[in-house]
Structure 1
């Protein structure tokens, strides 16, 4: 099993349960992916194969395989003969992910109204109780995990569980913004209220309300995007002057300058 660093390490690691059935490279990938999404590994950080090999207690081969998967998701950029660096958040990718996620999850919420069972209602209600406790305790990490579980459970209740699998693959850059946005008790309280509105609408079998509540919830992150950029400017890729928000192709980028 891959060794996972404790909170006392310098890598921003944490104690987590890792899937024993997964390959070593998959375990490394998921751990690094999570550390990039939650900001433990910040944009511009260079990922050293040697250091990661020591951190996880594995050879360099699974580290390289994990790096390639991270590059495919746009979380790192690999410069041959130079190094591998955590990417900045591209707002064009965030907007694209938001568009895809809204289309999928509003449809899932509407279908859940039609197809959810009493067991589904109980599952969603139980998740909300856990999220409320996490908000009261300021437990951001567990709150995020149950945020994901809530949306996955709504997709399952819709009768089309693969919707969530598709959304997961598309929303990685959006998730980085979501983590930055969860930085106060007030933020968690607002998310709980938004989630509760969705769950209540599904329980009442109100399709229009479920879709509307989901849309409001998913668009909320953009209400605070300017503030997030002001507070965490180093996390974001600077957009071209006069950008319309459309995704654009860019030329080759130089390796990011390391801090300090």
Structure 2
């Protein structure tokens, strides 16, 4: 029974998260617990557990006896996260650039190819672009840095969804990977300054 409850909770959690990504649930919208019970056809327990988890992760905000609000990510907050990414990714590039091999670069190139081939699907493209940056920081060998970037990318994914549905629906997703080749080439040349500058330009394309 406990396993079934956990499975239902995970199903509801993922469904709400996907609803945020697909604009079913908009920024600042109130989600009602009873409506979710009717929608998913299950008891309140897994619904409430999923909602509590989403609140703990900062995705929803609880208003007792009223509902759960979808937390909006402002452009300023998104920019602060991108600034953090630049420090995090750029800092670990400083440590790892001398040890990145041609084999490593081939792995990056393979992921970059996935990025180019996935521009018809916003979320396939997002996942491929995320994989590129996670692979890049993985060369540092620091598991904590990898996990922190992964967490950060999850927050940015919500911002990306919010901005995309509101203002970006006519934007070419390929624009946000325009500097991948530059990054890989400057790593090949072991030119840290150029690599960090290209990384900065790459991140700036998020809010461009």
1:75 to 59, 67, 91: 59
Residue in structure 2 matched with residue 205 of structure 1 by the alignment? 190
Residue in structure 1 matched with residue 169 of structure 2 by the alignment? 183
Matched, 1:153 2:135: yes
Q: 1:116 deviation in Å? A: 2.2
Q: 1:27 deviation in Å? A: 4.8
Ranges in structure 1 where 5+ consecutive residues have no aligned partner: 1-21, 225-260
Q: How many residues align?
A: 199
Q: What is the CA RMSD across the aligned residues, in angstroms?
A: 2.7
Q: TM-score, normalised by structure 2?
A: 0.79
Following the alignment from structure 2 to structure 1, what is the Cα–Cα distance between the partners of residues 146 and 39?
31
Residue in structure 2 matched with residue 41 of structure 1 by the alignment? 25
Q: 1:157 deviation in Å? A: 1.6
Residue in structure 1 matched with residue 9 of structure 2 by the alignment? 25
Q: Secondary structure, in 3 states, of the residue corresponding to 2:90?
A: helix
Contact 1:25/1:66 (8 A) holds in 2? yes
Q: 1:94 deviation in Å? A: 2.2
Residue in structure 2 matched with residue 243 of structure 1 by the alignment? none
Contact 1:112/1:202 (8 A) holds in 2? no
Ranges in structure 2 where 5+ consecutive residues have no aligned partner: 1-5
Note the alpha carbon deviations across 1:204-223, whole angstroms, 9 max, x for none: 3322222111111112334x
Residue in structure 1 matched with residue 71 of structure 2 by the alignment? 87
Change in 2 beyond 3 A, CA 1:129/1:172: closer
Q: Which segment drifts farther, 115-124 or 146-155? A: 115-124
Matched, 1:121 2:105: yes
Q: Secondary structure, in 3 states, of the residue corresponding to 1:158?
A: coil
Following the alignment from structure 1 to structure 2, what is the Cα–Cα distance between the partners of residues 27 and 149?
24
Matches within 5 A, 1:211-230: 211-222=196-207, 224=208
Q: Secondary structure, in 3 states, of the residue corresponding to 2:36?
A: helix
Following the alignment from structure 1 to structure 2, what is the Cα–Cα distance between the partners of residues 177 and 129?
24
Contact 2:29/2:70 (8 A) holds in 1? yes
Following the alignment from structure 2 to structure 1, what is the Cα–Cα distance between the partners of residues 147 and 40?
27
Following the alignment from structure 1 to structure 2, what is the Cα–Cα distance between the partners of residues 63 and 38?
20
Contact 2:178/2:202 (8 A) holds in 1? no
Following the alignment from structure 2 to structure 1, what is the Cα–Cα distance between the partners of residues 19 and 186?
34
Q: TM-score, normalised by structure 1?
A: 0.65
Greater share of helix: 2
